[in-house]
Each structure stands twice: as C-alpha cells, then as structure tokens.
Amino acid sequence: MDYEFRRDPFGGYRARFSMGHEAIGQWLIDEVGKDEEKLDALFAVIDQLSCRSLAEYKLLGGDYSLLLTQEEAEVKANVLNIEQDEDLDDLAYYDDEQLAMCGLEDFAQVLGSWRAFIRNEDMG
C-alpha cells in the first residue's frame, strides 16, 4: 500500500492512497483529521489487539467506520451499510473509494505517518 500526505492550497490536508486503499485516506481526513487524542486512543486499541487482550474494535464515524481485528483493519463508508431494496443489484453502492482493508501492522504504520505529518505541518 502506497500513500502520500500533502497540504492543499487552502490549508486542508490531502491523503492519497494506492488503488484499493483510497478509503483509508478519506477516513483519515474525514474522521481523524488533526485529532491526536483519537490517534492515541487508536494506538492503545492496536496495542490491546496485538496483545490479544481485545478481539475486535469498531469505531462508527460520520461518513466512514473502522473495524480493527487482531489481524486487519477495515475502513468502510457508512453508505455501504444502508439496507438495499432486493431489486437493487448487490453492488449498487460499491465504489473502490468506499471500502479498504489492510493488515493491522500496516494500518499502525499509516497512523504513525499521519501523526508525524500533522505534527510537522503544525510546526511548519
């Protein structure tokens, strides 16, 4: 999974992720932003999952939700949880930018990189 963090010309943040992982970048921007307390809490949860003292963790956000297990992380757009009519195709709401999964260790690295990026931006 490749990613890059940048500041846009209007003072906002951009997180570009490789194909298939775009939802993680959008989740970082929309649900985490510059909230270091949220990042600290997520790192604590990841530690608990890694030590196997916690089986899974769910975080419901405004636009995206996060599911962490002892093995992986899943970011999913909440729109994908909408109950669909049986007449609609099962993939009616599917979009590559709305669902992403990666290993828990990779996800922890992303969070660490994001924290370093926002701290550096605040200092610069």
Look at residue 109 and tell me whether its pLDDT is greater than 80.
yes
Integer Cα distance of 105 and 46 in angstroms: 9
Distance of CA 49 to the CA centre of its chain: 17
Name which residue leads in pLDDT, 124 or 24.
24
- Percent helix, strand, coil in the chain (nearest 5)? 45, 25, 30
CB proximity list for 124: less than 8 A, separation 6 or greater: none
Look at residue 19 and tell me whether its pLDDT is greater than 70.
yes
Residue-wise pLDDT tens digits, 64-106: 999 999 999 999 999 887 654 444 455 544 566 799 999 999 9
Q: What's the whole-model pTM score?
A: 0.85
